[in-house]
Amino acid sequence: MSGDEKSNYKYVFVCGLHRSGTSVLANNIGRLENCTGFKNTPASVPDEGQNLQDVYPFEAEYGGPGRFGLDPRAHLTERSELLRPDKVARLRASWHSYWDKSKTIFVEKTPGNLLMTRFLQAAFPNSYFIVIRRHPIPVCMGTPKLGQASATSLHNLFKHWLHCHQLFEEDKKHLKQVYELTYEDYIEDPGRYHCAIAAFIGTTVPKTTLKEVNADRSKKYFDRWSTLLTSSFFRDYYQYIARKYDAGFLKYGYSLVKWPGLDAEALRGLGEISPALGGLYCRGADACAFTSRLFNWPPPNTRRRIKALLPKSILMRINQARQKTSVAQDQPEATSP
Q: What is the DSSP letter of 77?
A: -
**Bond preceding residue 57 cis, omega within 30 of 0:** no
- Residues comprising the chain, all counted: 337
Q: What's the pTM value of the predicted model, to 2 decimals? A: 0.83
DSSP letters, 163-213, are HHHHHHHHHGGG-SSEEEEEHHHHHH-HHHHHHHHHHHHT----SSPPPPP
pLDDT given for residue 183 in this prediction: 96
The residue ranges of DSSP E strands in the chain, in sequence order, are 10-15, 35-36, 105-109, 127-133, 178-182
Superfamily of domain 8-201: P-loop containing nucleotide triphosphate hydrolases (3.40.50.300)
Domains of the chain, residue spans: 8-201, 219-295
Q: How many helices (H) and strands (E) does the chain have?
A: 13, 5
Q: Do 17 and 142 contact (CB within 8 A), yes or no? A: no
Torsion of CA 315, 318, 324, 329, to 10 degrees: -130
The number of beta carbons lying within 10 Å of the beta carbon of residue 311 is 8
The CA–CA distances, whole Å, from 132 to 18, 25, 55, 67, 216 equal 11, 9, 25, 19, 15
Q: From 276, 296, 255, 292, select the one nearest 153 (Cα to Cα).
A: 292
pLDDT at 271: 65
Q: How far is CA 158 from the centre of its chain?
A: 14
Q: How remote is the C-alpha of 263 from its chain's centroid?
A: 30
For the stretch 271-324, pLDDT in tens is 678 888 888 878 888 888 777 767 666 555 555 555 556 666 665 665 666 555
Q: Cα separation of 330 and 117, whole Å?
A: 49
Cα gap 329→326, rounded to integer Å: 5
- DSSP structure class, residue 107: E
Q: How far apart are CA 25 and CA 32, in angstroms?
A: 11
Flag residues of the chain having pLDDT under 50: 2-4, 148-149, 326-337
